[in-house]
A and B are shown apart, each in its own frame.
Chain A
């Protein structure tokens, strides 16, 4: 019996997820911290929309760390998001 062909992407979410992974890896490769902040934040929001708070906080943590590293103003907002979810100390910048 012949093996079934690989199924094409079945949802926009799955395609976005792969594209997000690709963009994240590319941003890591070129050490583009601003892009990492933006992309990890998107990943966090998508995970939260999918109901996975742990995954959301994982990604938001990365966004926060890179924002903090470069002194990006987004660090304040990201910190507050993690604090609101009980996942970080409040950091006064």
Chain B
């Protein structure tokens, strides 16, 4: 029985609101409620297209206990299925692999093609009989999970109730339409993983505000000062931060990464870092971009999967290899500087007298925007029960 945390105090303006109650960070029951109402009911990130680059590539993903399978089919299309055989419920693929022909269940060898269609059910009608009048192959394909790939992030709507991705995120996609150009993953050094002992929402909250930058990232003060930043808070949609002063990283001989094509002059010195609710965090800059997928493990543990992307593939710009390494190291330093903060906030939320916190009406708009959205999703879920 869910305790139904009080959320009215979150659903008012940032000037007067309080943050989400402690239970949303430390209570397994509320974590389970958010799993359904926030993460399964919306478009959540589960991985990256670059993880299955070629036809036949398959990668299993455990998303909040839900076994999923990302597959690149022979047409190059990416699909996501429930990673469960329609026969006896066996897990179909337990590790990333190249599928030469079909997905064969290791238990009784029911086989599915890469579009999820059941192709063979061996001996289903008795030894040597591979059909039966009461086994309708057309209704026994793998359960397809709604998916959409944007900026190489694989999004899924597990419960199937969300609006189409392009409708749900229309305003954000419009905002960044200039960046709808090819992205190229930066290679092995461009993949980072951080295991952090905090609720997944604290990673979001820290990402979408600039208030903490001068205190937690003093190294940024020299080129990315607090006063150069602005808040982005679109109620019910997305939030984050931007800067008017983005400075490109340079190599020892002044070399820089090539820009994404077709950007307007605005982006010469601007950059933005926004959260695609609920669990994806994106950054765009003239010469490179990054994406976080937050993998909630339980109410107090999260894995951050981080990937860096460029306008040109590494094979086309081998002379920039050292610069890519430096850039990845720079971002790794920044992202790691945030770990003690999010883990500290997680510990702080075990303080039973913490009331959700008082927001700065000026600095915390993006964070409150996220809290407001989460609370609205939870309330919708309760109403639907």
Contacts and interface: CB of A to CB of B under 8 A. Distances in A.
Interface of A: 53-58, 60-62, 64-65, 67-72, 75, 82, 87-89, 91
Given A72-B101, A75-B101, 13 more contacts: A55-B128, A57-B128, A57-B129, A58-B127, A61-B123, A61-B130, A62-B122, A64-B122, A65-B104, A68-B101, A69-B101, A72-B100, A88-B130
Given A55-B128, A57-B129, A68-B111, A88 B120 contact: yes
B202 to A, nearest CB: 44
Please tell me the size bucket of the interface on B.
10 to 19
A57 B127 CA distance: 8
Contacts of A72: 100-101
A69 B128 CA distance: 18
Contact of B129 (A64, A67, A87): A87
A60 B130 CA distance: 11
A58 B128 contact: yes
Contacts of B149: none
Contacts of B137: 89
Q: Which of B102, B109, B127, B131 has the most CB of A within 10 A?
A: B102
Nearest to A62: B122
A65 B128 contact: no
B244 interface: no
Contacts of B129: 57, 87
Given A57-B129, A61-B128, A68-B111, A91 B119 contact: yes
A19 to B, nearest CB: 23
B125 to A, nearest CB: 8
8 smallest beta-carbon distances between A and B, as pairs: A57-B128, A71-B101, A88-B130, A58-B128, A71-B100, A70-B100, A69-B104, A61-B122
Interface string B325-361: 0000000000000000000000000000000000000
Contact of A65 (B100, B120, B127, B131): B120
A58 to B, nearest CB: 4
Contacts of B100: 69-72
A64 B128 contact: no
Q: Which of B100, B104, B123, B129 has the most CB of A within 10 A?
A: B129
